[in-house]
Structure 1
Amino acid sequence: MMYSLFLASVLPLLVAGKATIDSQIAALEASNSPILQYPTQLTQNLVPKAIHSHNDYWRDVPLLTAISLGVASVEADVWHMNGTLFIGHELAALTPNRTLDSVYIQPLLKILGEENPIDQFTVNSTTPNGVFDTASDVPLQLLVDVKTDGVEALPFILQAFEPLRQGGYLTTFANGTLTLSAVTVVGTGNSPLEQVKELSPRDYFFDAPLTQLTDPSLNTTWDPTLSPLASTDYGTAVGWSGIGNISAEQLANITQFVGDAHERGIKARFWDTPGWPIHARTAVWRVLLENGADWLNADDLEAAANF
């Protein structure tokens, strides 16, 4: 059936010209043949990469630029004011139109709707596809960096994710089972740890303190059902500028903190890594990845994607 469709599309166009493979490709593309189109092609050929888009809302086009480069983690600073969740780095950067819903949730719903068509082929599907067509089982990690009071903001944040929740798109811990889905939401900044612990079911997780996973004073059992991610300030935890040789002590800090996370099944991220000079930034990225850091924290997404 499909081969017949192929012939019907191509043969009439080959009569007038030399039948080379390039001419067949050109003919098919010019014909807008339906065999070149498929429902989930929005993100075709995009390979997901373990890159975190730091301050993603600063991009000319938030979220979509990151996804277009295969970036699998994005970060949104969220300000709760009178029931609305605004997006921005500081008060002067906030606008009425840029909200958690408009900048992230609605675009994600649109993307995931395209990646999860409802038709005769998918009618019995139970596991939704993620945003990446090439790796539909890879969740997009969305960090919500709460800038205002976390206890007050949390109920509004949870409500904001209801459309994704209703679609079955959120990674969820319930009844002792962690079920990965298209989007894993991780609270950071002022996200309230004790309130996140109490969520049941839980589809809003907590960014654990990477340097304190072994600290008993926190009275917390860190594991992926609470914290799939643990992060820390690179400058405080490591401090190497990327120029010259990294010291044995600095390297030991990286391996210790990464090891603490991996022992608990948690992924490690170092934020605020050096951004300049470029060769120093590259050196830091290389050392972090070679020593087990799971997420490459980046502001220059194109450079990170080509690293």
Structure 2
Amino acid sequence: MLTQILLLSLSVSYIQLAMSSPGVDQWIAALESSNSSLLHYPTQLTQNIVPKQIHSHNDYWRDVPLLSALSFGVQSVEADVWLINGTLFIGHEEAALTPQRTFSSLYIQPLLQALAAQNPKNEFTVNQTSPNGVFDTSSGTSLHLLVDIKTNGTEALPFILKALQPLRSAGYLTTSTNGSVTPSAVTVIGTGNSPLDGVKALEPRDYFFDGPLDSLNDTSMNTTWDASLSPIASTDYGAAVGWSGISAISDSQRSIITTLVNDAHSRGIQARFWDTPGWPIHARNNVWRELLDDGADWLNADDLEAAANF
């Protein structure tokens, strides 16, 4: 037995010596510098990134819109869209708009490039029946693109639908036909001034509606809320719940969260609360934890790194 232990110890030592020797390091360095195709992972854009149900609030504020969110595994991004003189611009306020920052340049074109990389056309993919999404670790995960219309929604909708045509033509958009949803790489959801009647009239539909989480039972809206119209439903956290995350949450506040979440889930709709507290940090984390414990589907976040590491 002692002999076996000594032999094992010697074997481990030799392996450690070999792995730390200049020869191995030089071998690795030579392979890396050779640009060998053996070391190139084809769909490396999101290699090793785990998708998470985080919503990138005001995503266009990022240093690099869309791609920064993807780097953290964020599954939902939000773009504020302004229709001005027939062009769709991106920004929080009119003072932030520039000729270069458009819906196409910041979202449509980068998505097309990312999805083209994830969906190569070759002998290995010839029998592929549905497109891959942006996440290499979860190709069936659809990225939510929330379009927050800031100008007149009825006027803007046709321009947005036209802007989506390249994604539509490539088969990258989730669609609903006769109430049946076919998931794809990108699910576009209108919010802000998106016109409910205009979205309801789309058939087939590849532009969905961000449902009113706190009003799904409101019969005056004459709407049947389900996933074919609204994959998600959202509400203002402060107005609906109001818990700051500093003191203990009350039973009534928790009941509000669970009631809204359960009502959405009963319709096949995911629940999102926006404008959750961002500071103090411990209060923000308490709210995030409570929402997840109560079944909410999305963390609405400005600090994507904190949410990704939560």
- Aligned partners of 2:27 and 2:274: how far apart in 1? 49
Could you tell me the TM-score, scaled by structure 1's length? 0.92
Matched, 1:292 2:295: yes
Other-structure match for 2:149: 146
Paired amino acid for 2:47: Q
> How far 1:27 moved relative to its partner?
4.7
Structural mapping, 1:107-146, within 5 Å: 107-146=110-149
Paired amino acid for 2:187: T
- Aligned partners of 2:84 and 2:287: how far apart in 1? 38
Could you tell me the TM-score, scaled by structure 2's length? 0.91
Paired amino acid for 1:47: V
Tell me, what secondary structure is at the counterpart of 1:212? Answer: coil
Structural mapping, 1:1-307, within 5 Å: 18=21, 25-307=28-310
- Aligned partners of 1:27 and 1:224: how far apart in 2? 53
- Aligned partners of 1:101 and 1:233: how far apart in 2? 28
- Aligned partners of 1:243 and 1:53: how far apart in 2? 24
Q: Which runs of 4+ in 1 moved over 2 A?
A: 17-33
Q: RMSD over aligned Cα, in angstroms? A: 1.6
Tell me, what secondary structure is at the counterpart of 1:224? Answer: coil
> How far 1:28 moved relative to its partner?
3.4
Paired amino acid for 1:111: A
Structure ID, larger Rg: 2
What's the CA shift string for 1:26-63, capped at 9, x where partnerless? 55334332112132122100100000000000111100
What's the CA shift string for 1:200-226, capped at 9, x where partnerless? 110000000000111111111100000
Change in 2 beyond 3 A, CA 1:103/1:18: same
What's the CA shift string for 1:130-173, capped at 9, x where partnerless? 00011000000000000111001100000000000000000001
Change in 2 beyond 3 A, CA 1:20/1:212: farther
> How far 1:21 moved relative to its partner?
7.1
Q: Which runs of 5+ in 1 are unaligned?
A: 1-14
- Aligned partners of 2:212 and 2:133: how far apart in 1? 27
Paired amino acid for 1:208: G
What's the CA shift string for 1:232-276, capped at 9, x where partnerless? 000000000010100111100000000110000100000000000
Paired amino acid for 2:188: V
> How far 1:91 moved relative to its partner?
0.8
| Identity score, percent | 71
> How far 1:19 moved relative to its partner?
8.9
- Aligned partners of 1:80 and 1:189: how far apart in 2? 13
Number of matched pairs: 292
- Aligned partners of 1:24 and 1:69: how far apart in 2? 32
Other-structure match for 1:8: none
Paired amino acid for 1:204: Y
Paired amino acid for 2:93: E
Change in 2 beyond 3 A, CA 1:23/1:135: farther
> How far 1:126 moved relative to its partner?
1.9
Tell me, what secondary structure is at the counterpart of 2:253? Answer: helix
- Aligned partners of 2:45 and 2:72: how far apart in 1? 13
- Aligned partners of 1:279 and 1:174: how far apart in 2? 44
Tell me, what secondary structure is at the counterpart of 2:54? Answer: strand
- Aligned partners of 1:176 and 1:220: how far apart in 2? 13
